[in-house]
Amino acid sequence: MLIVNLARKLAHNSTLLAPDFVSFKRQEWIFIVLNLVILAALLLIHTLFLSFFGTPPRLLVIVLAAAFLINTIELMWVQSATFLNATQIVMLTWFNIALNLALALVLALLSYRQDIQYFALLIVPILQAAFRLSFFANCTVVAAGMTIEFFWVWHYFRIHPPAQITEYVEAGTISLLYAITGILVWSLVNQLRMKESVLTTSLLELQQTKERLVIEEKLAAVGRLSAAIAHEIRNPVAMISSALATAFNYGVDSTEREEMFGIAAREASRLEKLTTDFLTYARPRQLVKQSFNVSESIAYVADICRPKAAEKNVVIKTDAPSLLSACIDSGQLQQALLNLVMNAIEASGAGGHVFLRGRYQSGFIRVEVDNPNGPIPPAAVDRIFEPFFSTKPTGTGLGLAIARNIARSHGGELALWQNQPDLVQFSISFPASPNEVEGL
């Protein structure tokens, strides 16, 4: 009953360093290979020094071969196994420890010499206990190894008296080395375990902090967006309200009344455009992709923007291969390019020029829109893709945000690529057609 209770206590106190099976497999592989190396080395030493150790008994060789085979089978089984729970890992650990302790004692009995080299096998169970078990369990394994050492000296001199005190001193020295090894390794591993626990806790706290920051940033973004929407809607609504109130004033003549109605109509149109742009940004249309020649979209956007460019005496130039094939929603892509080109035209001075280029680049199609009138102020660069941010008096601040959403929905990106005094360049990229990439 005492032995059963002791076994239960040892199993309960087996706090594994690597409770997950993947880590356990790596550790067990190292311990089994170490055991195999020691077994092979011991048999080789016995064979090479036959004059000193004598011819090994056949039963000893059989026991060594059986131990080698058991370890080899366990190594293959551990490598092929996919799962062991914590209880099974504890049981396997104790089985290996007991097997090695018993093997060292059996080999000592079979060789039956005063100096037994096979006690080197005791180091493996001590290391296993130090790596995986509690301090109490580790001390128990160390004590078992020390007991085997002293038992063998006592047993040998009981049959071959008289006893030599130097042999007991030697056994005590080896036992001391076992104790130092077991306790030192256990202490180092336990420190690693505590540091791992601290790092795990810190990582968890960092993850929780990150999640809170993300939530707070989302709430802040929603707040900024709501404030921007309210600001953008308030102005045209106030203008409409003021214009209508003035128009319905009986003291206003018909000319002024028509002017007020015109103001109200323009502001209503502006409000409609604002809400349309916002819905496009907040709820993008589903993509309808098909294979399309991007060069045609570049030429089309340049053509429809030329009248606006001519009003400002700006020249639009294009440069693209005859075939830039991609699976895209051509309508949405043209909308994104239109926003970029119109912004470039408005930013250009009289006599300026806007370049619209397209090319392949590392499996992507890259379309660049640039003008020489720069740079964009540093304070604005970080906010140009922010909804409702605009440096233009009549802009809604949604054009670039919508264009970026379109690029990302195509698996690409829109970025401010160059921002120099003589060059402001926006680049929109998206995956090229696989057939075209293979043909490059």
DSSP readout, 323-367?
A: --EEEE-HHHHHHHHHHHHHHHHHHSPTT-EEEEEEEEETTEEEE
- Separation CA 341–CA 23 (nearest Å): 57
pLDDT digits (tens, 9 = 90+) for 285-304: 677 788 888 888 888 888 88
CB of 282 closer than 8 Å to CB of 405: no
CB of 369 closer than 8 Å to CB of 354: yes
- Separation CA 417–CA 419 (nearest Å): 7
- Summarize the confidence of residues 124-128 as an average pLDDT: 90
Say if 215-282 and 290-438 have the same CATH topology. no
Report the number of secondary-structure helices (H) and strands (E) in the chain.
14, 7
Helix (H) or strand (E) holding 238: helix 165-247
Q: 10 Å Cβ neighbour count for 107?
A: 23
How high is the pLDDT of residue 143?
92
- Separation CA 378–CA 285 (nearest Å): 32
Q: Which residues contact 332 (CB under 8 A, 6 or more apart)?
A: 284, 285, 287, 406, 409, 410
* Beta bridge mates, 315: 353
How high is the pLDDT of residue 180?
92
- Separation CA 319–CA 366 (nearest Å): 12
What does DSSP say about strands 353-361 and 315-319: parallel, antiparallel, or unpaired? Answer: parallel
Q: List the single range of 50-59, 165-174, 386-395 with lowest mean pLDDT.
A: 386-395
pLDDT higher for 87 or 290? 290
Residue 9 pLDDT level (bands cut at 50, 70, 90): low
- Separation CA 381–CA 394 (nearest Å): 19
**Domain segments of the chain: what residues?**
2-163, 215-282, 290-438
CATH 3.40.50.720 given to domain 215-282: no
* Beta bridge mates, 416: 426
pLDDT digits (tens, 9 = 90+) for 312-334: 888 898 888 888 888 888 888 88
Top-confidence range, 20-29, 94-103, 399-408 = 94-103
Conformation bin of residue 247: beta by default, left when phi > 0, alpha when psi is -120 to 50 = alpha
Residue whose pair of structure tokens reads 């042999």 in the numeric block: 167
How high is the pLDDT of residue 228?
63
Please, is 341 exposed, middle or buried when counting C-beta atoms within 10 Å of its C-beta (0-12, 13-18, 19+)?
buried
- Separation CA 117–CA 114 (nearest Å): 10
CATH 3.40.640.10 given to domain 290-438: no
Q: Which residues contact 167 (CB under 8 A, 6 or more apart)?
A: 114, 153, 156, 157
379 token code pair? 């304070």
pLDDT digits (tens, 9 = 90+) for 216-273: 776 666 666 666 666 667 767 777 887 777 777 766 677 777 888 887 887 787 777 7
Residue 65 pLDDT level (bands cut at 50, 70, 90): confident
- Separation CA 382–CA 84 (nearest Å): 53
Return the sign of the alpha-carbon dihedral for residues 181, 185, 188, 191: negative
- Separation CA 250–CA 380 (nearest Å): 47
pLDDT higher for 253 or 404? 404
CA 397 to chain centre: 34
pLDDT digits (tens, 9 = 90+) for 360-370: 888 888 999 98
Q: Is the pLDDT of residue 97 over 50?
A: yes
How high is the pLDDT of residue 437?
47
Q: What is the mean pLDDT of the chain?
A: 80
Residue whose pair of structure tokens reads 């309210």 in the numeric block: 230
CB of 369 closer than 8 Å to CB of 337: yes
CB of 365 closer than 8 Å to CB of 326: yes
How high is the pLDDT of residue 439?
47
CB of 414 closer than 8 Å to CB of 364: no
Q: What percentage of the chain has pLDDT greater than the value 90?
A: 3
Helix (H) or strand (E) holding 310: helix 294-311
Half-sphere exposure of 15 (CA within 13 A, CB side): 9
CB of 426 closer than 8 Å to CB of 414: yes
- Separation CA 117–CA 98 (nearest Å): 19
